[in-house]
Amino acid sequence: MAVVIARAFLSNVGPVLATQERSGSTVERLAAFATWVDSGLAVGPLIGGFVVARLGLPPLYDALAVCIVGALVVHRLASGGPVYAIRGIDAPRGGS
């Protein structure tokens, strides 16, 4: 959630800050900002490729499985009710 909010914030505020903070024309300032954004986006795949090459796929799949189970546990604890009540199985029959 924080990543989504930060990404939205950066996409709106970043160009404004870039045009105010750097010297040069507006196009030069926006180009410099775009270069840093592109470089930042390239780091994730590079690190991911390094991790897969170094550790292999089984530890990656294990880590993803643990993250998914953790998210499900947090979701289950946050819901506060039994699963069948969440799905609506206890809802009265007859359309209302």
DSSP code of residue 80: -
Distance CA 48, CA 46 (A): 5
Between 25 and 63, where is the model more confident?
A: 63
User: By the 8 A CB rule, do 42 and 34 touch?
Assistant: no
For residues 80-84, average pLDDT: 61
Q: Output b/e per residue, 77-96; b: 16+ Cβ within 10 A.
A: eeeeeeeeeeeeeeeeeeee
Confidence of residue 69 (pLDDT cuts 50, 70, 90): very high
